[in-house]
Structure formats: C-alpha cells, structure tokens
Structure 1
Amino acid sequence: MPTAHSDTACTHFLREFWLALGGEPRYLDHLQITGEGALTSAFPVTDFATAAIAAAHLAVGELIVQAYGTAPAITVDRRLASFWFATSLQPQGWSLPAQWDAVAGDYRAADGWIRLHTNAPHHRQAALAVLNTAPERDAVSQAVLCWKASELESAVVGNQGCAAAMGSALAWREHPQGRAVAAEPLLHRTEAPVGPGGPHQSKPARPECIAPRERPLRGIRVLDLTRILAGPVATRFLAGFGAEVLRIDPPGWDEPGTVPEVVLGKRCARLDLRDPADRAVLEGLISEADVMIHGYRADALARLGLGAERRRALNPGLVDVSLNAYGWTGPWRERRGFDSLVQMSCGIANAGMVAAGSDRPVPLPVQALDHATGYLMAAAAVRGLTQRLITGDGVQVRASLARTALSLLSFTPADAPPAALHPLNPRDYSPDIEHTAWGPALRLTPAGVIEGTPTQWDLPAGELGSVDARWL
C-alpha cells in the first residue's frame, strides 16, 4: 500500500478518478501539476484535492477535443486546489456566519465518541428530543455521556436526526454498510439510449448551444437540486465554463454559512415539491434541462413521483447525476449523512486521532469528501455531455460520499507531516471585486487552467430564492 503524501498519491488518485469516469488514459498526457506543499493531515488530502479538480478539468478538455478538434493543455496548482477545498471567498467589510450550529460537533459518549450534525433546525430538534436537554453545549455534553455511542446514533437517526459514532476503518470494512459500499463502483454509470434522432429531436435548437471554445458549456442548462456541499461544488464548476445553472431549494431553506461560497454563477429559485403545482413546474424544468444534479437521499425523488424512470421519460437525453451520502445499497442507503458524519463512520476521524496521538476525533482539515465528490460529479456531467455529443444518448451517474472516502482510505496515514502550504496572499485572488448579495468579496483564482478556455462566472453569488423557477 502506498505511503500517504508520496509522489505517487496524486497520480494514483487521478488515474482512479479518470478511469472511474470512463475517460481514456491518453488525455492524462495533457495535464501538468504544479505547486508544492500540502494540507496537514494523516491522509494525502492535497493530492486528493488536486486529482479531483484535475479530473473535472480533463473532462472539459475532452469536450473541447470532441467539439473543436484540438486538445488544450491543462494545468492544476496543488496549492490553490487545497485552498479551494476550504473556501474560495474572502469577504471585504463583512463576515460569513459561523459554519456550524452551536450544538453541532463531537461529543464523548460512555464508550467512545459521537458526532451530532445539527445545522438544520429540524435536525437539531431531533437530537435534542432524544437527549431530552436544552440546546446548550454543556448540557448536551452531560446528556451524551449517559449513552453508548452506537445506541445514541441509532436513537437520533431513528428520530430523523443526523449523528455518527466514531469507528475504525477495520470496523467499517466489517460493517454491513461498509461491505455494501466497498462493492459499489466509485461512480456508477448507466447508459440511457434514446434511439435514432438524439435527445433533442422534439425540441427546437437553441442558438446558444453552439458554444465558443472559450465558453464550452454555454447554452447548457443545469438543474441543481443539491444542498450542502458536494452538489453545489459540482454545479459551481459547471457555471464557471458557461452553463446556465438554476438551483432549486424548498421554501424556508437556508445555508447562511455556505451559500455565498457555492452559489457563484447560479440563479436560485424555490419550489415546494410537496405541492403538485410546484412539482409540475419542476417536471417542466427537467424536460428542458441538459443536466440534472441532485443530492436527495436514495428513493426520495421516487416517493415524489420523480424517480429515475420518470426523469428519463420526461427527458431521454438528460445527463442525470445523483449523490447519496452512505452509498446506494446496503441498510444505510437512505440514511441522512454529511461529510463530517461519513468521516466518523468510515474510520477517517479515528485514523486521524491515532496518527496525531490525540484523545479525540481528528477529522480532515477540510471537507474533502464533499469537495472531491463534487468535482467528480461535475466531471461525470461533462463526460455525459461529451458522450451525448457523440451518440445522442443520455446517461445516469451515481456517486456517494462513503465510496469517495474509500479512495482516500486506500492510503495509510503518513509517518511524517508534509511540507506546509504557503499561506494565501493578495496575488492568489482575482483583482476584480465580486459584488455578492451580502457585500463585496474577493475570490481565489481558479486552481485549474485550460489553455484558451478561462474559468469565469457570469453572476456573483446571490441569495436563495431570488429568481423565478424558469429557464432564461
């Protein structure tokens, strides 16, 4: 097994990602990795970040080859890739809200550790109801000490909340859900042939679909039904190459700590999918989309009458990319999950604790499972568009945080920390001010550069629900 942070880590991850996407190895020759240093972690997180961002850029490069006949050179800076996995936004004269709710975090239980994820009000209430305590950290700490970690996890999850007991990688490999995830591919691709004539046979061609080389996704409509954090990262990437991204959220939903980071380049609307009229609006949007990226739990859309077969019937040529936290098979396939919880379940936080000689969980320095999966989803969407350009067929792709975690876990924890990254400086940011809905801000310059095809976002970050749910 390779040693973490070795020179082989980035190459290993990149090859694994690109082959999982169905990419041809020859495209790897067009890529150059630059930069030095790494995020401090027991795992090669910087190599992981660099490879994921590189895979998404390779997919755009492949689309350019198919559409324009020339193969562009691609460069990815590992230092900037590391920082994009944290935050790309630097507010000027204002501050982002705290990323975590006051109750969220790791707690010592009677026999180990557990993490409570309480950012959403209904998830916080679910955990507090089980613990029968006030929403105060000290009170929660005392209540958690009375529980065994696995029993509290089951109780909170059973009450529609979000929690994860910390376990080892070995325990996860032996767990029924861990075994199920290990049997899944990193990305599960299903072709959706539509027969002669291609997916847009019944639709009038949009003039903007003939995109210029510098904006290869112009005219591509991306329907974004995702929230924190992987899916929004995917659609932000697509918007950077010209796609029209329309994000849909339910009434009342907000992510104040992350929205300014991830809605760059998007239009944001609201629909209540429990309302038949709003559901009909969504069906209309699906029928006219090129790409749909969604992060609902397994079978959630099916319960709304919008399962995979219905989406294919609405739009046979749709590039349909979906995300689930704990995988698509096994007893936890419908469990609510987030990056920080998956790290606890699959052994990453435990391995970090052991490597650091700590007495508490040590997670990754960034939410790398979310970000890496997001770039893989973006790459899958672009490769689906490339395939559709060639064959006229749609495609369905499934990803999960738990399966992405297994890729990172294939490297043993490092014996020695890598050279630290040089801190950010003003030259790392775009000189142009982004006038977000919350105030002026600077954005990091892109970590990836495609020759002749700059990454640029046409819209600043705006508030959720600020536009009508329709295509331009």
Structure 2
Amino acid sequence: MQGPRRWWNGPLDVEQLALGSVGLVAAALRSLSAGRLDVGIQSDQVAAAFGSSSLLRINGEQSRGFAEHSGFYRTGDGWIRTHANYPHHEQRLLQSVGASAGGGLRESLAGLSSIQAQELIVASGGVAAAVQTRADWAGSAAGQAAKRGAWAQFTLHEANRSKTWGYAPGANRPLEGLRVLDLTRVIAGPTASRTLAAFGAEVLRVDAPQLPELQAQHVDTGFGKRSSLLDMSSPVDGERMARLLEGADVLITGYRQGALSRFGLDPQSLQEKYPELIIAELDAWGYEGPWASRRGFDSIVQAACGISDAYRTERGEPGALPVQALDHATGYGLAAAVIAMVQARSERRGVGLVRFSLARTAEALFALGAPEIPDKELEDPRTGRMASSYGELEYALTPFLIDGHLLDYRAASPAYGQDEPIWL
C-alpha cells in the first residue's frame, strides 16, 4: 500500500474498512494470476474512490447529494432517517404519514414515535429507519441476525464441467473475456461490477425500464460497462434474460430478498438451470431475521445499527460516516469474492453463491474498534477526463496500481439503456 493509513476524523475506523476491502481485490487478482500481476493500492485514491460521487463532474457541474426529503427528522421521542432519492420512494414516504410534496413531513413525523414512523413508512413501501443506539440494535432480532455469520457467506459445490474462462497471462486487463451480468442498483453492487469492468470484464448492467436509475449515480458507477433495459414481466424480455444467463460467467444481484423470485431469478432456480453460473448477491439487512426482506440503503443502515448515534454532532443531532463506506466496502468485497470464485471454478471446478449485506459490513466496521489520530492530510486525488454522451466527465481514477501506475477505466459510462441485451 502507498500513502497514509489514517485521514478521516471520527469514532470508527473507516479507513481500515476502506483499505481492507480494496486490498482484498488486489490480493484476489494476485492470487488469480499466481503472483504474475503486480497489483497494489494507493490510499489517497482509496479515499477518492469511496467519495467518488462527490468528485464526479459532468460538464463541470457537481451532482446534488441527497434529495429534499432524505435526511434526519425529529420524532416525538428521538430521530428517524428517511431515504427519498428515488421518486417512488419519496411518494410512498409522504403518503405514509399524510404529508404532501409541498411540505408537512417534518410536522407529521414530529407527532409520531420513531418506531411508529419507521413502521408506517416501511409498510407503505417507503424507506426509513429509527436512529438507534448500538445497544438497541445489538439487542434487536434484526441486529442479532445481521451479526451472525462471516462478512462474506460462501456456498460452493463441484460442477460437472467447468466453463473455459481462465486467467490469460499477458492480457492487458486480467479479467478480459469474463462475462458479468449486473442486476444491481445504487452504489454497492454497481461499485463491484465497475471494479470488475476496470480489470477487463465485459459487464452488462440490466435495469427495469419502469424504475430508472438516477443519472449521476449511473454515470458515477457505469464506467467501462454496457447498459440495457429489460422488462422482466414481458415474455420476450424474459427470453432475452435467459439467453444472457446462458452465456454469463457471473451474475450479481442487489435487490432485496425475494424481489426477483417471481422471475425465476432466485439462487435455487438459477443454480438448477445454470449450474456453472457464479452467483453473487447483496442486500441491505442480510438473509435471515425479521428485516431480511426490507428495503434499505447505506444511510438507513447507518441509522439503524448505531453509526448515526456514534457520529452525533456537538448539538446532539445524529450524524453519518464521512463517506458511504458501507456501500463501497461491500462493493469492493463483493468484487474480490467474485474474482476468488472465478479462480475456484477455473482451477478446482468450484461453483456457487456468495452473499454480502450492508448490515454485516456495519458489524465489521464496529469490530475494527476506534481509530488512531490521523497520520496526515491526503494528497489531492488523481482524476481523469473522458468524453461521454452526457458531456465531459471528470472523475476519480481507480484506487489500484498496476506495475506502479494508477489504473484508469476503459471507457466512459454509456448512455442509460443504450445497448442491446447481448454478449459481444
């Protein structure tokens, strides 16, 4: 590793989580190449990568952060955090408490307890969590479920035969030719697939046309990928998805548990139909316990698990991590796990499933303990520039060093939904 070890102030060791998760990708690539590939990381760029959305410029303009109704609100007995960046979540949030788009949300929430508000919003299909202490979360059934098991939960079996993809020494990017089908949204999953694309994988991201991704989010996480739209309720698009799965090496999904089951995209069905497919899943709350099927985002998990309470301001208001560290660390960890599973399939015919959750990543962060005093200031991040269909993009380079040189992305983010749903 090059660069400082500490740089963010705060009660939790976010730097170690960031450096560790990115370091796992470098280690997985070195293992895949049997040590032939010189892959390292640079801490200044790790910090930049974890804050990539704030560094992104589209035609010189910075994207907005959280939407108007996303944030902390006082309740009758504490605080709640809401997430309303997506229009359909904002609509459900406002409807759940009888507020309107023009105002009234703050007043409505102030008349409810934190748990009352949380459950009303969740029952309406919105996204929110009461701000809890660490002890409250640890004592809850959801918190206990999140803590069980390893950070990455692997299930492997031996395939009858193995797909032919394997590491080719001398390739410009070590994952060239690997086909990755990306059914993820927001930050964590797209960060994983963006990382795989940076190392040469052919990544095709597929979204539902009725739920478009936020433009800045798509641009920030779309470097080096292709982008298609498929309506899985359509028989024609369902057939297209089946053909993609037949040709894929890896499938990454990032929807809440059970959301894809009605399309036959649950792990059991997929493993029966495509026995050599490597499946990587992530969600907010984990795969057991009372919150397993709830919607969630990084900021919401922070509120529920005690991070927001730990980062309270001098005025006593709940706070947040300096970056969306749960999302990014989960994404890099997932990328590393995919690379390890690709190696296992290539060398030992091992195929299977790996699962991550934001809540389990939060547990890993708390387990790291309190950080030391920061070493020094970070160097200014190295950025790149590319032309795109959205205009000129300025963005943070990857945190990876190949033979001592920072790795750049192969291509700019594509226009949303522009590509045919086929493998090249």
Please tell me the TM-score bracket, short chain as reference.
over 0.9
1:120 and 2:86 aligned: yes
Indicate the residue corresponding to 2:75 in structure 1.
109
**Alpha-carbon contact 1:39-1:82 (below 8 Å) kept:** no
- Structure 1's unaligned 5+ residue stretches are 1-31
**Alpha-carbon contact 1:181-1:326 (below 8 Å) kept:** yes
Indicate the residue corresponding to 2:383 in structure 1.
429
The TM-score, its normalising length taken from structure 2, stands at 0.94
Give the direction of change, closer, same or farther, for the CA distance of 1:358–1:317 in structure 2 (3 Å limit): farther
**Alpha-carbon contact 2:59-2:392 (below 8 Å) kept:** yes
Displacement after TM superposition at 1:213 (Å): 3.9
Displacement after TM superposition at 1:221 (Å): 0.3
1:82 and 2:63 aligned: no
Indicate the residue corresponding to 2:421 in structure 1.
469
**Alpha-carbon contact 1:222-1:289 (below 8 Å) kept:** yes
Matched letter for residue 295 of structure 1: G
Displacement after TM superposition at 1:76 (Å): 1.7
The residue matched to 1:258 in structure 2 has which SS?
helix
Q: Distance in 2 between matches of 1:41 and 1:390?
A: 43
| 1:27-176 correspondence runs (5 A) | 32-65=1-34, 70-87=35-52, 89-91=55-57, 93-136=59-102, 139-176=104-141
Indicate the residue corresponding to 2:328 in structure 1.
371
Give the direction of change, closer, same or farther, for the CA distance of 1:98–1:90 in structure 2 (3 Å limit): closer
1:241 and 2:199 aligned: yes
Indicate the residue corresponding to 1:295 in structure 2.
254
Displacement after TM superposition at 1:364 (Å): 0.1
**Alpha-carbon contact 2:389-2:414 (below 8 Å) kept:** yes
Matched letter for residue 416 of structure 2: L
| 1:444-463 correspondence runs (5 A) | 444-451=396-403, 455-463=407-415
Superimposed CA distance per residue, residues 111-137 of structure 1 (whole angstroms, 9 cap, x where no aligned partner) = 01101111111111111111211224x
Q: Distance in 1 between matches of 2:299 and 2:93?
A: 16
Give the direction of change, closer, same or farther, for the CA distance of 1:94–1:368 in structure 2 (3 Å limit): same
Give the direction of change, closer, same or farther, for the CA distance of 1:422–1:458 in structure 2 (3 Å limit): closer
**Alpha-carbon contact 1:72-1:452 (below 8 Å) kept:** no
Q: Distance in 1 between matches of 2:167 and 2:23?
A: 25
Indicate the residue corresponding to 1:12 in structure 2.
none
Q: Distance in 2 between matches of 1:184 and 1:209?
A: 31
Indicate the residue corresponding to 1:398 in structure 2.
355
Displacement after TM superposition at 1:97 (Å): 3.4
The residue matched to 1:167 in structure 2 has which SS?
coil
Q: Distance in 1 between matches of 2:308 and 2:373?
A: 17
Matched letter for residue 392 of structure 2: P
The residue matched to 1:47 in structure 2 has which SS?
helix
Q: Distance in 1 between matches of 2:42 and 2:315?
A: 32
RMSD: 2.1
Q: Distance in 2 between matches of 1:404 and 1:310?
A: 27
The residue matched to 2:289 in structure 1 has which SS?
coil
Superimposed CA distance per residue, residues 376-428 of structure 1 (whole angstroms, 9 cap, x where no aligned partner) = 000010000010111123121000000010011114445x7525533626xx2
The residue matched to 1:34 in structure 2 has which SS?
coil
Superimposed CA distance per residue, residues 301-323 of structure 1 (whole angstroms, 9 cap, x where no aligned partner) = 22222221221133211111000
Q: Distance in 2 between matches of 1:453 and 1:91?
A: 23
Q: Name which of structure 1's ranges 308-317 and 388-397 shifts more when overlaid on structure 2.
A: 308-317
Question: Sequence identity of aligned pairs in percent?
Answer: 31
Q: Distance in 1 between matches of 2:370 and 2:350?
A: 42
Superimposed CA distance per residue, residues 355-394 of structure 1 (whole angstroms, 9 cap, x where no aligned partner) = x434111110100000000000000100000101111231
Indicate the residue corresponding to 1:216 in structure 2.
174
**Alpha-carbon contact 2:285-2:359 (below 8 Å) kept:** yes
Matched letter for residue 208 of structure 2: P
The TM-score, its normalising length taken from structure 1, stands at 0.85
Superimposed CA distance per residue, residues 422-444 of structure 1 (whole angstroms, 9 cap, x where no aligned partner) = 3626xx224xx311221112332
The residue matched to 2:16 in structure 1 has which SS?
helix
Indicate the residue corresponding to 2:366 in structure 1.
409
**Alpha-carbon contact 1:34-1:75 (below 8 Å) kept:** no
Q: Distance in 1 between matches of 2:58 and 2:325?
A: 26
Indicate the residue corresponding to 2:275 in structure 1.
316
**Alpha-carbon contact 1:99-1:258 (below 8 Å) kept:** no
**Alpha-carbon contact 1:215-1:242 (below 8 Å) kept:** yes
Q: Distance in 1 between matches of 2:208 and 2:202?
A: 20
Moved over 4 A (4+): 208-211
Aligned residues: 422
